[in-house]
Structure 1
Amino acid sequence: MSSAKHGRRAAPKPPARLRTRSTRESAPHSARRDASATPAPVRTAPKPRTRSLRPAFSVIAMTFVGGMMIATSVPALAITATDPEPRASVYAPVEDSITLAPQTIEVASEAELEPMDSEGYAVEAAPPPIFSEVASVGSVSIVESDAIVWPVVSWEKRASGFGPRSAPCSGCSTFHDGVDFNPGNGTPVMSIADGVVVLATEDGGGLGVNVEVQHNIGGELITSSYAHMQYGSLQVSEGQRVSAGQQIGLVGTTGQSTGPHLHLEMFGADGARFDGFAWLTEHIG
């Protein structure tokens, strides 16, 4: 049953003073209770202090970095130039103050000194060179050679020796002026001794690709001729000085040849051919 809103029988409203008082009384009480439960910070001194120190630290750090940049970029001479006190340059040479005492040697009194016999030694002059006149080279000075070698590595493989023979081809002679070595096609051909190249040609007629070298062997002028070598294999030119064992070409089959081989001819100042194989055997041992 609802109460009447108007008239005497209307239900009295609760006094507003009591509602307001209870509200006023409850609010301070709850505020005191909250204050006792969680104490509020009274002063926040660290925060303002931290905020004020950050700019100071930044300024100090930037000042330190700038000082380091100046110290590493400015030369030492630029700094010392403003120094009022005179200082030695870091680039000035250091004076050597080391003193060396003279060396001495002590010989015991019982030691015997024997003088060297100067008559036991003799000085021999080098043998004079041979001067040879070559049409394509001119006057050639040839020094004596002290080394003699075989013209190919497999010198024991031979096809034909020096002397009379049956002509192996049309136009070939019945007397062999040289010795034929058969080490194999493309085998290096070497000078038998020190000397001077007096002929180097790829158009040697029946000899094909041919090289001639003059040597001074024991004061005697000896010429060695290397024939039938490959086209394009020449390693020397006329007038060039060569040494014993130096490559001059490759074994081939040019000119009047029945197969790849080295035809070696040897002759003296008179031009007469002799047995090159016998001569090499004697001088090489």
Structure 2
Amino acid sequence: MTSFPQRGRRAAISTPAPATPPRRRRILPRFDARQTFSVIAMAFTGGMIVATSVPALAVTATDVEQRASVYAPVEDTVSFTPQTVEVGSEAVESTLASEAYDVHEAPPPIVSQVASVGAVSLVETGAVVWPVQNPDRRSSGFGPRDAPCAGCSTNHDGVDFNPGDGTPVVSIADGVVVLATENGGGLGVNVEVQHNIGGQVVTSSYAHMQFGSLQVSEGQRISAGQQIGLVGTTGQSTGPHLHLEMFGSDGVRFDGFAWLAAHVG
């Protein structure tokens, strides 16, 4: 059976609903930390430029309060109370006697003639020191002895100190170097210094020192305690030691250890 639409009524027509337009996505700007840091840095730099370029006087020019200039001198308000000393009525005033004194002219230097350096002017000195540390360490004294080696003397002209190889050797007093050689024969590396001690010419001789250790030269003026070389075993030597000889203007050797013991200090 065929169904026909009824008259007077419209058949319902299904009309599709209009399509909803797609919702637009809102795009936010991307946060860039580097740009933000750059802006902050530029702002800080600009502030610093303003703060450091504007003179301090201009910054404070609007200050209405009266202030003292930093360049104005400050008045010294420090006051001192005078001191007084009270003396009892029983005190007796006395005058101190002035002490007498004499003025002495320095003794004239001694002029010594030395073949290697010529005329040597020696100023008197009073300071005398030991030539090495530990002067009590000695192996051979002054005078007769048993020869320690073939060719060594049986009558020792000096005193042998044994402070150790490489120990500094110093001048016993102020003086002038009259000999400084590395070819001293049996004495090896040898230095001689002339002194004026108590108005007398005294010569000290330092032997058997190390090659290349000389610190002085002929004609040089040196002081007591000044280094002249190092303990060695050059020349006619059986081991490292300092051979010290001492003699006067007559050239006669004497016991250097006994002399130093009486004059040091």
| TM-score grouping bracket, smaller chain normalisation | 0.5 to 0.7
Query: How far apart, in 1, do the equivalents of 2:250 and 2:72 lie?
Result: 72
Is contact 1:229–1:254 with CA below 8 Å preserved after alignment? yes
Residue type at the aligned position of 1:183: P
Query: How far apart, in 1, do the equivalents of 2:69 and 2:160 lie?
Result: 80
Query: How far apart, in 1, do the equivalents of 2:240 and 2:161 lie?
Result: 9
Q: Deviations over 1:48-107 (max 9, x none)?
A: xxxxxxxxxxxxxx9xx9787445314457899xxxxxxx986x5737656877966545
Query: How far apart, in 2, do the equivalents of 1:103 and 1:244 lie?
Result: 53
Change in Cα spacing, 1:69 to 1:261, as seen in structure 2 (3 Å) is closer
Is contact 2:122–2:194 with CA below 8 Å preserved after alignment? no
Counterpart of 1:143 (choices 114, 124, 129) is 124
Q: Deviations over 1:119-161 (max 9, x none)?
A: 3x53453642533334426432423123x23222232222222
Counterpart of 1:12 (choices 2, 9, 12) is 9
Query: How far apart, in 2, do the equivalents of 1:166 and 1:96 lie?
Result: 89
Structure 1 runs not aligned, ≥5 long: 16-61, 81-87
1:218 partnered with 2:198? yes
Q: Which range moved further: 195-204 or 229-238?
A: 195-204
Q: How does 1:1-285 map to 2 (within 5 A)?
A: 3-5=3-5, 9-10=6-7, 12-13=9-10, 69-70=49-50, 72-75=52-55, 94=73, 105-108=84-87, 110=89, 111-119=91-99, 121-123=100-102, 125=104, 127-133=106-112, 134=114, 135-136=116-117, 138-146=119-127, 148-284=128-264
Larger radius of gyration: 1
Query: How far apart, in 2, do the equivalents of 1:284 and 1:236 lie?
Result: 23
Is contact 2:195–2:201 with CA below 8 Å preserved after alignment? yes
Query: How many matched pairs?
Result: 229
Query: Could you tell me the TM-score, scaled by structure 1's length?
Result: 0.63
Is contact 1:4–1:11 with CA below 8 Å preserved after alignment? no
Change in Cα spacing, 1:67 to 1:151, as seen in structure 2 (3 Å) is closer
The DSSP-based 3-state class of the residue aligned with 1:233 is coil
Is contact 1:145–1:195 with CA below 8 Å preserved after alignment? no
Residue type at the aligned position of 1:4: F
Change in Cα spacing, 1:281 to 1:260, as seen in structure 2 (3 Å) is same
Query: How far apart, in 2, do the equivalents of 1:100 and 1:269 lie?
Result: 71
Structure 2 runs not aligned, ≥5 long: 13-41, 61-67
Q: Which range moved further: 103-112 or 250-259?
A: 103-112
Greater helix proportion: 1
Is contact 2:123–2:196 with CA below 8 Å preserved after alignment? yes
Deviation (angstroms), 1:204: 1.8
Q: Deviations over 1:237-274 (max 9, x none)?
A: 33444333332211111112222211100011222211
- 1:42 maps to none
- 2:36 maps to none
Residue type at the aligned position of 1:207: L
Is contact 1:231–1:254 with CA below 8 Å preserved after alignment? yes
Is contact 1:3–1:10 with CA below 8 Å preserved after alignment? no
The DSSP-based 3-state class of the residue aligned with 1:279 is helix
Residue type at the aligned position of 1:145: G
Residue type at the aligned position of 2:93: L
Q: Which range moved further: 127-136 or 230-239?
A: 127-136
